[in-house]
């Protein structure tokens, strides 16, 4: 078997193992609760557990595929490789925090434009708000484990395989689409995009794939530069812990929070998308740049 055929075989095995659990479990849960699980209050604990354990599936698929195909654990991206790569470790956190902060400001500019800055962002109880923010940021460490669970699968296994088979831009796009489609059973159940939006169910899946492509670009960059899966895990953990309008929830006034809660997730997605696209484009340029330097 040629190298490429072996890579394709391993990729297929990995993807089948990664996709199957959600395809089986999520419809069963929807049926059990009688409605989409992300829109059912009784399902909250079950959804919490599904999120935590579900995010470990790609890593489990990584391990099973490596053992089943006798690939071994070389090039597993498990080394820290901090020396010379501190800037990528730092970027994994501050780029994501900056993206979320800018997204919050964009949400204000678009949906709360009739309110002044001091009406949107409340400075009462600053001690409590600062404490909540810092504790939330620190508690991201707990989210590290599920985030690592995903990243070791997608960036640590799938993306290197895709980059063996395709040019980098295509590999990043295909990787993002695969990652977005993996979320499809959840998206159809109301995850990230409620089930009442225009274009349901297809628009939600398309938007999720778009989000994953843009996020995948930056994650692939920091993974490839460090040859380590940990920066991507840190970035993912901050993303999940500060998702959506979390900054607004912590620092926003009651009125602002209520107004934003009424806006559809599709609208908020399109509002913050430009920032994600900018980061993705810059990341792709940097990802390609290394290849160009090596070619010279």
Partner 1 sequence: MSGLLYKNFFLYRIELIVIGVLQIICSFTVILNSAQTGGSEETMLLNMIVHFSMFFLTSLFDSGLFANDEKRVATCFAISTPKGAKSQIQSKYYTLLIVNLAVLFFCFVTDVICCVIMDSVLYSCASFMIIFFSFSIILTAFGVPFIIRFGSNNGGNIKISTVGVLILLIGIYLLFGDISFFMADDPVAELMKLLTAENVMLVLSFIPYAAIILYYISYRISLALYRKGAENYD
Query: Which residues bind to partner 1, rule: CB under 8 A?
Result: 42, 44-46, 48-49, 52-53, 79-80, 125, 127-128, 130-135, 138-139, 141-142, 145
Measuring CA to CA, how many Å separate 247 from each of 15, 116, 118, 138? 35, 17, 15, 15
Nearer to partner 1, 43 or 205 (CB): 43
Contact at 8 Å (CB) between 204 and 39? no
Closest contact distance (angstroms) between CB of 146 and partner 1 is 9
**Nearer Cβ to partner 1, position 52 or 277?**
52
Residue nearer to partner 1 on the CB measure, 44 or 68 = 44
Between residues 7 and 132, which has the closer beta carbon with respect to partner 1?
Answer: 132
Q: How far is the CB of 278 from partner 1 (least distance, A)?
A: 30
**Residue with the two structure tokens 């740049």:** 289
Q: Smallest distance from the beta carbon of 127 to partner 1, in angstroms?
A: 5
Please state, in angstroms and rounded to a whole number, the distance separating the CA atoms of residues 140 and 195.
28
Residues sharing a CB contact under 8 Å with residue 84, sequence separation 6 or more, in sequence order? none
Tokens of 127: 């001690």
Q: Is there a contact between 229 and 152 (Cβ–Cβ < 8 Å)?
A: yes
Please answer whether residues 155 and 218 qualify as being in contact, where contact means their C-beta atoms are separated by less than 8 angstroms: no
CB 52, min distance to partner 1, A? 5
CB 237 within 8 A of CB 96: no
CA distances from 175 to 73, 107, 192, 289 (A): 21, 28, 20, 20
**Min separation Cβ 191 and partner 1, Å:** 16
Residue 73 or 270 having the CB closest to partner 1? 73
């Amino acid at each position: 078997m040629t190298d490429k055929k072996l890579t394709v075989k391993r990729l297929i095995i990995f993807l089948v193992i990664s996709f199957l659990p959600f395809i089986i479990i999520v419809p069963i849960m929807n049926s059990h609760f009688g409605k989409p699980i992300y829109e059912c209050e009784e399902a909250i604990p079950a959804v919490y557990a599904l999120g935590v354990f579900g995010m470990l599936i790609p890593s489990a698929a990584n391990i099973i595929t490596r053992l089943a195909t006798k690939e071994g654990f070389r090039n597993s991206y498990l080394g820290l490789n901090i020396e010379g790569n501190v800037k990528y470790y730092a970027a994994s956190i501050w780029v994501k925090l900056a993206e979320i902060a800018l997204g919050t400001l964009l949400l204000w500019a678009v949906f709360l434009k009739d309110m002044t800055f001091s009406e949107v962002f409340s400075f009462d109880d600053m001690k409590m708000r600062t404490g909540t923010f810092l504790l939330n940021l620190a508690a991201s460490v707990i989210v590290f484990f599920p985030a690592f669970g995903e990243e070791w699968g997608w960036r640590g296994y799938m993306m290197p395989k895709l980059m063996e088979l395709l040019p980098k831009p295509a590999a990043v796009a295909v990787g993002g689409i695969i990652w977005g489609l993996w979320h499809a059973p959840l998206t159809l159940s109301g995850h990230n995009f409620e089930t009442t939006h225009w274009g349901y169910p297809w628009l939600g899946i398309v938007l999720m794939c778009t989000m994953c492509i843009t996020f995948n670009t930056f994650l692939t960059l920091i993974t490839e530069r460090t040859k380590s899966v940990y920066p991507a895990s840190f970035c993912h953990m901050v993303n999940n812990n500060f998702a959506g309008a979390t900054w607004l929830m912590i620092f926003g006034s009651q009125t602002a929070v209520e107004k934003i809660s009424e806006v559809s997730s599709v609208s908020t997605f399109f509002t913050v998308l430009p920032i994600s696209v900018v980061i993705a484009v810059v990341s792709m340029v940097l990802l390609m740049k290394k290849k160009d330097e090596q070619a010279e």
